[in-house]
Amino acid sequence: MDWSQQTVLVTGGTGSFGKKFIEILLREYHPRKIIVFSRDELKQHEMRLSGFDHPNMRYFIGDVRDRDRLRRAMQGVDIVVHAAALKQVPACEYNPMEAIKTNILGSANVVEAALDAGVRKVLALSTDKAVNPVNLYGATKLAAEKLIVQSNAYAAHTHTRFSCTRYGNVVGSRGSVVPVFLRQREQGRLTITDPRMTRFWLSLEQGVRFVIRAIEQMEGGEVFVPKIPSMRVMDLARAIAPEAEIEVIGIRPGEKLHEVLLNEDEARSAVELDDMFVILPAYEEAWFGQGWKQRGKPLPDGFRYASNTNSQWLTVDDIRAMVRPIEAAYARARTQP
């Protein structure tokens, strides 16, 4: 795919993912145009001032809840990366209709606007919280995933195709536990909900590069799941504050002990490649190509890709290396007036 001929729109483009995605696109892929679509004018202004003032960039104020504004923003767009979401679990629990309006109805608006504007590829970002969800955030992301995948049925006589990526916790993203631990380190005590807890973990750059690869390879209807390492939350605490006291406070409502990226039922319609799994849609009419069945191998019956049974694990030293840039940024922010 020739990125230099593509116009790309990123919903939620001022977020952690959006900024890193745009940074890498500008530096390495040189698209014809990048459109940031988000609702916060201050974040857009700050993004411009922080170096994202490239002549190929445009900034659209808008909310994914506003279908007409999305339609306007998508005129002439080739690729949409749908990253806008309400993602803080406690906030979604306390404001359930707001989470539904943004994460589900907002995704429906992205679908409708992309179809109307003739966008060729729409890739939506999902999360491990969407698998066997136990909180509202996960439930809205599961619904959004199903909506995106099944919307290929509406695109049967068009060039528009819809797919998803699903991956785990991103180191240092907004809402990450890392800044919390860095703040708590100053008091010498870290709070852990459960010492047995495990999570899938990847860097922001790894997530971005996986999304770029998915855009290049998507045929329509897939959910792309990367093979990524797990980490123990206790190891994260040791990496950040090895001398700190640990206080166990118990699992919070809506929190899991371990996360799952691919469950047993999905595995029946998924294939495995060297560095990822690809989940095919359950309904053949939503599927635009059978190529993944030839490129990948079927998974064994009962297969489950979970953070506690993963074959890849980060050591304390690995975690410390991943956290170091976030630690440095945190220290700089603390010294600024």
Q: Which of 121, 129, 141, 256 is catalytic?
A: 129
**If 0-12 CB within 10 Å is exposed, 13-18 middle and 19+ buried, where does residue 335 land?**
exposed
- Asked if 43 is an active-site residue, the reply is no
Copy the structure tokens of residue 37. 């679509």
State the pairing for strand pair 7-11/33-38: parallel
What are φ and ψ of residue 324, in 5° steps?
-55, -45
Nearest CA-CA partner of 83 in 162, 129, 21? 21
Q: How many CB atoms lie within 10 A of CB 318?
A: 15
**If 0-12 CB within 10 Å is exposed, 13-18 middle and 19+ buried, where does residue 324 land?**
exposed
Residue 104 per-residue DSSP state: I
Q: Taking each helix axis from N to C terminus, what angle separates 316-335 and 177-185, rounded to the nearest 10 degrees?
A: 70
Q: How many CB atoms lie within 10 A of CB 2?
A: 9
Which residues are the active-site residues? 129
